[in-house]
Amino acid sequence: MISDEQIQGLSHNASHRKILQELNPTSGMSVPLIVRGRVLGAMTLVSSSGRRYNTKSLMLAEELACRAAVAVDNARLYREAQQSQQAALRAASRTTRLQAITAALSESLTPTQVAEVIVEQSMAALGASSVFVALLTQSGTELELVRTSGEQQEIIDSWRRFSINASAPLAEAVRTKQPIWQEPTETRIARYANLAQEYAQSNYGAWISIPLIIEGRAIGGMSLAFTEIQQFNQDDRAFMLALAQQCAQAMERARLYEAEQTARKAAENANRIKDEFLAVLSHELRSPLNPILGWSKLLQTKKLDEKTIPQALKTIERNAKLQAQLIEDLLDISRILQGKISLNIYPVDLTSVISAAMETVRLSAEAKSIEMHISLEANLGQVLGDSNRLQQIVWNLLSNAIKFTPAGRRVDIRLLSCPNFNSALIQVSDTGKGIDPNFLPYVFEYFRQENSSTTRKFGGLGLGLAIVRHLVELHGGTVQVESGGEDRGATFTVRLPLIQNQLEIKQDSSNSEPSSNLNGVKILVVDDDTDTREFIVFLLEQYGANVTAVTSANEALATLAQSLPDILLSDIGMPEVDGCMFIRQLRTLPPEQGGKIRAIALTAYAGEMNAQQVLKAGFNKHIPKPVEPSELVDAIANLIAE
C-alpha cells in the first residue's frame, strides 16, 4: 500500500500531488534500465486497481527492463551511426568541394579571376544568395569591390569603394581580422544604423563577413548573405574559414603573378628602349664622322680648290660641333640620373636668354626658310636661375621646333607673364610634324623617341626634352606640351617663377670677363695624342704664351726638374702613368720642384665622377674635351689671376 507520506515524497508540487492522490495508487515498483553495466534510465510501474506487486511481478519487470535497455541502447547506437555516416558524407562532400575550389583557384591568374571563383564557389558550396568580394587598395585605407553577385546594382554602385574605417560589417571584419557571423537583421540594424535602409531592401535572413588573411595581414574580405535563416555549427564555420583561407592564398598568388608580369613587361620594355637607344646612339655618333674624315682626307691631298676649302672646313666644324653636342647631352643625362647637376644661380633677364638662344639656331632656321616670330612682353621682371642652363632650355625647344617643322613654315616664341602664379611663361610653337596623342605622355622621358626605326626622318638621341624637363624643374618651374596630333604642330610651355621683389641688380666689377692676354705665361702641355697636343700648342701660342709640350708624365717630370712653368695642362688618359697618377706624384714634391704648380686637366673623361676624381687627385680645374679656345684661354687667365 502506498501511503500519503510516500505520495507527498514522490510529488514535485501541489498540483502533481493532487494528480497522484486522484490516481490512488495501491502498489508500485521501479526497475533500472541497465546494459553493459551502464544505467540508461529507469522503468516505473504503478497499479491503481488494487493489485499488489509481488516478487514474481518484480522478476517479470526486471526482465522487461533488461530487454527495453537493450532496445534503447541499440536505437541509440543506430542513431549515432547514422549521424556519423552523415557527418562523414558531409566531410567528404566538403573535402571534394575544397579540392574543386583549389583546382579552380589554381587556374586563376589575376585577382579578378580569383574573385570570380570565390563568388561562384561560395554560392554553390554554401547556398549563399549574395556575395561581395573586396580587396584593400594599395594605400591600405580603402576597400574596393572586385566581384559581386546577387545584389542590386544601386547598392553595388554605392559601395564600389569605401573606407576601411566605414561602419559596415565587411570593413569591420577586415579591420579587426575577425569574422562576423550570422546575426538577425534586427541585431545588424541596431549595430549599423546607417545601413538600415539597405538591410530593409535586401531582407536577407542571415549575413556573414569574413576577412581574407595571409601571413597575419588582411588583404580584403568577403560578405555572404542568405535568404533563409541559417544555423551554422562549428563544422560549417570551419569550412567557411578554410574556404576564405584558400581564397586569400590564391588572391596573394595572383597578385604576385600580376606584379611579376608587370615587372617583366617593364624590364622587357626598358631593354627594348635601351637597345633602340644604343642603335640610334651608334648611328648619331658615327654619322658626323663620315664628312669629318672624308673632307679631312681630301684636305690632306691638297687637291681642293680655294673655293672648296672653306666649305670643307665649315662642314668639318659643323659636324664636330654636332658630335660634341651629342656627347654633352649624354653627359647631362648622366649628371641628371646621378643628381649631380648644379646651377650657378643669380637674377636673369629672360629676354636676353631667349635672344641668345635664337641667335644660336638662326642659321638652322634660315637654311630651311623657316620664319621665326618673336613676341616678348616688356618689363616682365627677372627669374633666379643659371643663365647658361636657361639658354640650353630655350635652345633645345627651338632646335626641336625647327627640326620637326617643314621648310617654308614658321616657329613662334613668346615670353609673357602669368600674374596669377607670379611666373613667366616661355612658349615655343611650331607648325610642323606634331605629336601622336599616344606618345604625348612619354615626350619628356629619357631615351624615348616616337620613331627609333631605321626609316625615321629626323636624327637625334631623343634626350633634349628629358634634359629640358629636368633643368626646368631644377629652376622650380614646369614644362608642358600640347599637340593637335600628326601634322598639326606642337606647343611647349615653360613656366618659371619670377623673383618676388624685383631688386636693382648691380654688377660687381669682379665678375668682368677675364683677360685673354697670355703674353709671357709659361705653360707645360702633357698629352700623348699628337693632334691634340699640336693644336693646344698652336692655340696658346696665338695668345702669346710660351708653351712646352711633352708626350708623357715621365717627360713632364724631367722638364719640371729643369724649369717650372706657370701653368700645367695635362691629359688624363695616358699610357703607363695617367694624369691622376702624375699629379699625385707631383703634389708630393716641394713647391720649388713643382709641388704647388697650378694645374688644369684637359681630358675626354668628361663625366661628373671623372671631374671629382681629377680634382681630388690634385688638379685645380677640370675641362672636358672638346673645349672652345676662348674657354681654355679664360680658364688659364683665371688661374693666373688667383
Give 581's contacts (C-beta < 8 A, 6+ positions apart): 553
The total number of structural domains that make up the chain: 5
DSSP notation for 463-522:
-HHHHHHHHHHHTT-EEEEEE-STTS-EEEEEEEEBPSS-------GGGSPPP---TT-E
Has residue 603 got a pLDDT over 90?
no
In three-state secondary structure terms, 376 is strand
Residue 479: inside a domain, yes or no? yes
Whether residue 53 is found in the same domain as residue 143: no
Q: Residue 267's pLDDT band (boundaries 50, 70, 90)?
A: confident
Contact 210, 222 (CB under 8 A): yes
The predicted pLDDT at position 456 comes to: 35
| pLDDT tens per residue across span 162-190 | 899 888 888 999 999 999 886 666 777 77
Residue 241 Cα distances to 73, 91, 98, 174, 489, angstroms: 37, 15, 11, 14, 61
Which three-class secondary structure state does DSSP give residue 427? strand
pLDDT exceeds 90 at position 412: yes
- Asked if 572 and 552 count as a contact pair (C-beta separation under 8 A), the reply is no
CB 204 within 8 A of CB 229: no
Residue 344, Cβ neighbours under 10 Å: how many?
Answer: 9
188 shares a domain with 117? yes
| pLDDT range class, residue 416, cuts 50, 70, 90 | very high
Share of the chain above pLDDT 70, in %: 83
Per-residue pLDDT tens digits for 461-491? 457 788 888 888 888 889 999 988 878 889 9
C-alpha closest to that of 475 among 456, 498, 458, 452: 498
Residues 574 and 628 in one domain: yes
In a domain, 92, yes or no: no
For the ranges 80-89, 219-228, 351-360, 376-385, the lowest mean pLDDT is seen at 80-89
Is the pLDDT reported for residue 599 higher than 90?
yes
* 547 band by pLDDT with thresholds 50, 70 and 90: very high
**What per-residue confidence (pLDDT) applies to 510?**
38
Whether 559 and 634 share a structural domain: yes
Q: Which of 16-25, 93-102, 502-511 has the highest mean pLDDT?
A: 16-25
Task: Give how far the C-alpha of residue 380 lies from the chain's centroid of Cα atoms, to the nearest Å.
Answer: 39
Decide if 188 is inside a domain. yes
Question: Are 195 and 142 members of one domain?
Answer: yes
Express each pLDDT in 269-279 by its tens digit: 777 666 655 65
DSSP H stretches of helix in 502-572: 530-542, 553-562
When pLDDT is cut at 50, 70 and 90, the band that residue 458 belongs to is very low
pLDDT tens-digit readout, 184-220: 667 777 788 888 777 777 767 778 888 998 888 888 8
Amino acid at 398: L
pLDDT of 11 strictly over 50: yes
Least Cα distance to 431 among 384, 377, 488, 474 occurs for 488
The tally of CA atoms less than 13 A away on the side-chain side of residue 602 is 24
Which residue segment(s) compose the domain that 492 sits in?
342-503
pTM of the full predicted structure? 0.41
* 185 compared with 589, residue with greater pLDDT: 589
Which pLDDT score is estimated for 525?
Answer: 93
Residues 421-438: tens digit of each pLDDT: 788 999 999 988 888 888
Could you tell me if 304 and 256 lie in one domain?
A: no
Domain termination residue (choose one: 51, 75, 99): 75
What is the SS3 assignment for 236? helix
Q: Which residues contact 199 (CB under 8 A, 6 or more apart)?
A: 185, 188, 189, 192
> What's the rounded Cα separation, in Å, for the pair 527 and 550?
7
| Residue where the block lists cell 629626323 | 458
- Which pLDDT value is given to residue 90? 66
Looking at the structure, do residues 444 and 348 belong to the same domain, yes or no?
A: yes
The reported pLDDT for the residue numbered 508 is 39
Question: Both 24 and 11 in a single domain?
Answer: yes
Write out the three cell numbers for 599.
694645374
Cβ proximity of 413 and 372 under 8 Å = yes
Rg of the chain, C-alpha, whole Å: 47
| pLDDT 10s digits, 24-61 | 777 888 899 998 888 988 888 888 877 888 888 889 98
Judge if 556 and 600 occupy the same domain.
yes
